[in-house]
Chain A
């Protein structure tokens, strides 16, 4: 596609439920990043992939969070046993690293609300 697509755009769930957020990056972009943004804050790094492998998952808050990218394209961020503190906008970005210029193209985000 022409841009980074994230679904759903909005997700409301109850505390304790399981949630999956999907990111479809720009075709050919090998790097894919997940961030979390709370209101009025900067994007908080969660994880990034080079191809199929997670190159750095140091930002995942705890073991309730997991992300996959099995074919090196679409990625899914999975959150188990959701908590109210997980409420935020989850941003996905992709890039094609050239000459060290990892210019990120962001999706519109998935707004997660945990009641």
Chain B
């Protein structure tokens, strides 16, 4: 069975600093990996995905994620954090049968 782990409940970063939100996964076959963001009182929104190809994928709002097959990780990154990036971030993985499961989420606080 597939699984997703987000080891940090919360990440605090000063505005303008780089940020990383960690995600590791377990799945049979080729991984299809996703990041979603949830702003307060808003629905979940897609940020970016990895299917195949370059290990560094770029997404919305200047976010990117690095796929590392040997470490089974898919960490979310941004070179320079904004206060408006403060939100709840979820990593997700799709198995070979199209079932998609989510991690428990990481709350990102960007400090002004």
Interface residues of A (CB under 8 A from B): 31, 33, 35, 40-45, 48, 50, 55-56, 58, 91, 93, 97, 99-109
CA of A97 to CA of B6, assembled, Å: 26
Q: Which of B64-72, B79-87, B96-104 contacts A (4 or more CB under 8 A)?
A: B96-104
Query: With A100-B94, A104-B100, A106-B44 given, can you name 8 additional A-B contacts, CB distance below 8 Å?
Result: A31-B98, A35-B102, A42-B6, A42-B102, A55-B98, A102-B98, A103-B49, A104-B44
Interface residues of B (CB under 8 A from A): 6, 32, 34, 36, 43-46, 49, 51, 90, 94, 97-105
CB-defined A-B contacts under 8 Å, sample of 16: A31-B98, A41-B104, A42-B90, A42-B102, A42-B104, A45-B99, A45-B101, A48-B98, A56-B99, A91-B44, A93-B44, A97-B98, A100-B51, A103-B46, A103-B49, A104-B36
Min CB distance, B20 to chain A, in Å? Answer: 19
CB < 8 Å neighbour of A106 from B43, B98, B104: B43
Per DSSP, chain B at the interface is: strand
> Is there contact, CB below 8 Å, between B43 and A56?
no
> Is there contact, CB below 8 Å, between B100 and A42?
no
Contacts of A100 in B (CB 8 A): 32, 51, 94
Given contacts A43-B44, A55-B97, A107-B43, contact A99 B102 (CB under 8 A): no
Given contacts A42-B105, A99-B51, contact A104 B99 (CB under 8 A): no
Min CB distance, A81 to chain B, in Å? Answer: 27
Contacts of B100 in A (CB 8 A): 33, 45, 48, 102, 104
CA of A104 to CA of B100, assembled, Å: 9
Contacts of B104 in A (CB 8 A): 41-42
Most chain B CB inside 10 Å of its own CB: which residue of A48, A102, A108: A102
